[in-house]
Amino acid sequence: VGKEAQLNKSLGLFCAAVAATDLLPPSMKNNLLSSSGGQQQSHGQFEPARLTLSLMRKECHNMDVNHFDSDEVVKSLNILRKHLGQDADVPSIPTQSPEFAPKVLCSSLLCQNLGMGRLLIQCLNNVDEQMNQIACSVAMRWLEQSEDGMARREFVECGGVESLYSLMCDYVAPSRAAALRVLCHLASNDYQEVHGNSAIHRRMSGVGVFKKVSDELRLWASDDISACDPQVTEACCMLVASAARKEPVLRAELVNQGTAAALCLVLLKGNSTEKTIIAAALAGLANLAIGCPSAQEVIRSSGTIAWAVKLLDTALPPLLPLILLMLSNSLDGCSVNQDDFGACGGCDALTRV
């Protein structure tokens, strides 16, 4: 097209054209590129992208044909992760638009009939711990950079949620934490169906993701935490916070599955003073309490309001804002909780804050 503004509006079309050109026989490809004549600016944008796609096509093909060779698959996954990450060493596209940043371009190119979703699911289902953990990292970077949702749609429709659920039930803590982090991203960046229903959230709930999360949180608050891992517990809290942020119907369902009660247990009886876990649990409760009477009731009946009021005099950032947010959402529109807050000395504590 030759006009940067028009190219920026159609990154997907640009990547599709790159993909189509890369599939041409060498002679036709050379003729096409050489026929650009004086349009060197357009060629300068096109050729680096085509070379990047060729590299990715090669690595995806290597993963496909060598799926029984763990070393080869891990090698290809590491190359893809590098090109999608902060350390990406790919030919930069000469334009001022952030839409053509190398990472975003790589993510869009991976949606060009390379079967990326299927290949990642294949790796997630593998028993090799190194492979499934790197696959989670690649999936996260791919999904993060897919601004149009194509990667998320492909990943979910290939069974990504189900594979991640299986992985979060694994006995290896790093694999469980890696799977939960990808689920967090999917939950916070849901794509909507025609009627506005949360497709990914329903899928997570259907396979048992949130029930498993509640079980993990209760385990952390139990007397024996030998089987627990701080990173897994924190990721579970953040998954609830991400999922509860958007949909009122889902909040009530999460409360019914015991997530609000489990988060309260993490705060009241948790076996750690790690601020990251406390912060994540507060964020989860704050989001669950938004316009959700059942969550507000659980927070009050568990004694979490009184617990939070006691912390107001001593808490510092980043915990203080989260405590205030949780209290605000749990009191909003709930006179019983407001009375409990006042009886605990909440108004005086707020004045001191």
Q: Following DSSP, what letter does each residue of 56-91 receive, concatenated?
A: HHHHHHHHHHTTT-HHHHHHHHHHHHHHHSTT---P
Query: Is residue 170's pLDDT more than 80?
Result: yes
- pLDDT grade, residue 293 (50/70/90)? very high
- pLDDT grade, residue 194 (50/70/90)? very low
Average pLDDT along the chain: 83
pTM exceeding 0.85: no
Average pLDDT, integer, range 65-74? 94
- HSE-up (13 A, CA, CB side) for residue 239: 33
CB 206 within 8 A of CB 160: no
Nearest to 182 by CA among 165, 202, 170, 199: 165
pLDDT in tens, 274-292: 789 999 999 999 999 999 9
Nearest to 235 by CA among 140, 305, 97, 317: 140
pLDDT at site 189? 72
Query: Is residue 150's pLDDT more than 50?
Result: yes
pLDDT at site 271? 61
pLDDT at site 298? 97
pLDDT in tens, 218-272: 988 887 766 688 999 999 999 999 999 877 888 999 999 999 999 999 999 866 5
CB 187 within 8 A of CB 239: yes
Distance CA 74, CA 135 (A): 8
Amino acid at 166: S
- Burial per residue of 67-86, b for 16 or more beta-carbon CB atoms within 10 angstroms, e otherwise: eeeeeebbebbebbbbbbbe
